Amino acid sequence: MPKKVILDVDPGIDDAIVLCYALFDPEVEVVAVTSVGGNVAPQVASRNTQAIMEYLDPPRLPRLGVGSEPDDGLPLDGRYVHGIDGLGGTDLPVAVLRSLHPAEKVICDAVRAAPNEITIIALGPLTNIARAFQRDSEIPRLLRHLVITGGTLDSPGNITPAAEFNIYCDPLSAKQVFQASCIKTLIPLDVTNRVKLTLGDVDQLASDSTKVGHLLRCIIMPAFRAYRQRFGLEGIHVHDMVTYLAALHPQLFAMKSLSGNVETVGELTRGMTVFDRRRIPAWRENMNVAYNIKEEQVLTKIITGLNFSAQCVEE
């Protein structure tokens, strides 16, 4: 039976890749897609999500929910990598829906409708998840699983020396979610940085004559240029795609149970993920954290899954 999932996304190029994969993945039933501010403002994330849905036209349309900015506003965005529109300047046409429900309502409704069956895969800042938990205090207990892209274990951050982008964008929400009583798995930069998509990998994707192949090249190639110019890398990280596969194929990852928290006010450490790894920890373990990955197998799954989606769309 397919796993019921909610995708919480801030498209974002790597989020868009996940949507291309997940909407045709026979292993999942995407019951809802909620947009959150992060790589772009929440309104732009919502538009991008709707544009991708309209372009791909999946056989089953999930419910859509739109988020709003954190209470303190977004401190930055990811347009330096993802382009002015979040999709590398692709500018997909879309008939924007005007009556979308708030993301937290969509999350609560979906979880209430299928208690203990829903896995939320959170690929952006945790604003929507925290607000859903505030809206309905039973939601953490009714979730099957929460899988999060974010944080670091031993590696440096990617937005400050101490902090990873998603957690840095809304550390107060991240702290609330970390402390919530639900089954959680964190996929940090230590693991996601180990999977890099190269131009050779892109050549293995479905051809540009297919809808999925064309969209992927339109959004991925600007990311290659940004990574080369900004980071000096000949390839791109696909953090969110790695997290999606961790939710579906945990056997490809090594995990350990840890007690984690988030720094919310530090001048130099805002958004830092902190784990109690003392010999005798004082904090209670509250999540599994990935620390190793079978990167070649994950990369193979990314390519084969996207090519499967391309075949589904063309049919």
pLDDT at 315 over 70: no
Range of the domain at 212: 3-314
Looking at the annotation, which residues are catalytic? 10, 239
The per-residue pLDDT for 79 is: 80
Per-residue pLDDT tens over the stretch 217-272: 999 999 999 999 988 999 999 999 999 999 999 999 999 999 999 999 989 999 99
Q: What is the mean pLDDT of the chain?
A: 95
The Cα–Cα gap between 46 and 37 comes to 9
The Cα–Cα gap between 161 and 41 comes to 24
Per-residue pLDDT tens over the stretch 63-86: 999 999 998 889 888 888 888 889
pLDDT at 314 over 80: no
CB-based contact 19:9 (threshold 8 Å): yes
CB-based contact 151:167 (threshold 8 Å): yes
pLDDT at 96 over 90: no
The per-residue pLDDT for 164 is: 98
* Percent of the chain at pLDDT exceeding 90: 86
Per-residue pLDDT tens over the stretch 194-219: 999 999 999 999 998 899 999 999 99
∠ CA 272-273-278, nearest 5°, is 120
String of b and e for 118-148 (b: at least 16 CB within 10 Å)?
bbbbbbbbbbbbbbbbeebeebbebbbbbbb
Q: Mean pLDDT across the stretch 289-310? A: 97
- Sorting pLDDT into bands at 50, 70 and 90, what band is 160? very high
The total of structural domains in the chain comes to: 1
The Cα–Cα gap between 10 and 66 comes to 10
The Cα–Cα gap between 78 and 156 comes to 18
CATH number at residue 117: 3.90.245.10
Residue with tokens 């997909």: 92
